[in-house]
Chain A
Amino acid sequence: MLILDRILGQASEPELAERLHQIGHVGGLELLQVSGDDVQRRRLRLTSDAGTDCAIRLARTQRLSDGAILLLDTERAIMVRTDQPQYLMVRAVDAAGALELGYFAGNMHWSVRFDTDVLAIQIKGEVQDYLDRLTPMIESGKVQVESPCVP
């Protein structure tokens, strides 16, 4: 187990980019895929693409993000990769549908973004779970679902 307890910087910083490039050439760049939910955590245990068992333990003031560098030495680096959060875009056909959709999404405690007449519902887990819950509203024609996307 490798304890990683600070974010050293971002891959996009010029000084780091150069070093990461060199480390990449000698095959020392390890990627740590962090899911959309896990990226909020200050502590988690994950295996890198090279098979390293990583234990992340960050200060409350730090936060993981795509490109965060957690380890950097002359021949090896560990970099975080995250997926963009996916959203289910649900369009209300009229004001009545919008009221009902808003009320329902609030009751479900879903994380949402407002985008004019479209409610963007952040997908945590399976998109089917969200579709199942919305079925009555979809079938009655009050809302229309567009495919999941990154807005």
Chain B
Amino acid sequence: MSVETLSVESRPASKVGAARVGIGGPVGSGKTRLLEQLIPRFIERGTKLAVITNDLTTHEDAERLQQSGLIDPEQVRAVETGACPHTAIREDPTLNIQTADELESLYPGLDLVLIESGGDNLASTFSLDLVDYWLFVIDVAGGDDIPRKQGPGVLHCDLLVVNKFDLAPYVGVDLERMRRESLQARGDRPVLFTNCATGQGVDDVVEAIGQAVLFDQS
């Protein structure tokens, strides 16, 4: 019987996979540190997750997470991006897609795959073929004019995370102004402030991801 002759209700459903969430942003802004804060929180709320990190030529971030004791090391994979980290998350995300597919087939109950991009500049964005939702992490030490610089990452991400707010007094950054200008540049799409050294503000990031792609009841 062909699909056309099946009644609509009896057409076979395909298996819905895990949510895929990207974490992008410049080198050193705190992406891996954010992962280290997110992982225990997701595990705590019963979300089954796996992690993919993208590094230029090493597996440093993956190894750091594998050795963290926060997550089963088998559930952390490294993708080696070669020269241009943004290529692996945007123009040709095949390697990342394959790695996520592999993790999903090895761990059928996965709810969430977090994908950290290799650090890049403010222009890096994620392909929506690869992820359902993506965060862009900048830090206050980069200067409070970053939101005004209109980088595509800052403008187009689903959630902007401004990390290292604890450093604001040392680098002369006005957090309120940064919040205002971030919201303005992003047409009021969400911006959250975190201190990933201590975990302050990270619960709100978990909440935002939960609402957007894990569909928590609120």
Contact = CB atoms under 8 A, between A and B. Distances in A.
Nearest to A59: B14
Contact of A62 (B9, B14, B101): B14
Contact of A45 (B8, B86, B212): B212
Interface string A64-91: 0000010010000000000000000000
Contacts of A140: none
Contacts of A72: 8-9
A98 to B, nearest CB: 22
A58 interface: yes
B211 interface: yes
A60 B8 contact: no
A59 B123 contact: no
B39 to A, nearest CB: 20
Interface residues of A, number: 31
Nearest to B152: A109
A125 B156 contact: yes
Interface string B95-130: 000000100000000000000000000010100110
Given A16-B8, A45-B215, A109-B90, A6 B133 contact: no
Closest 8 CB pairs of A and B: A59-B14, A40-B128, A43-B132, A55-B215, A43-B213, A6-B13, A8-B8, A5-B16
Interface of B: 4, 7-9, 11, 13-17, 19-20, 86, 90, 101, 123, 125, 128-129, 132-133, 150, 152, 155-156, 211-213, 215, 217
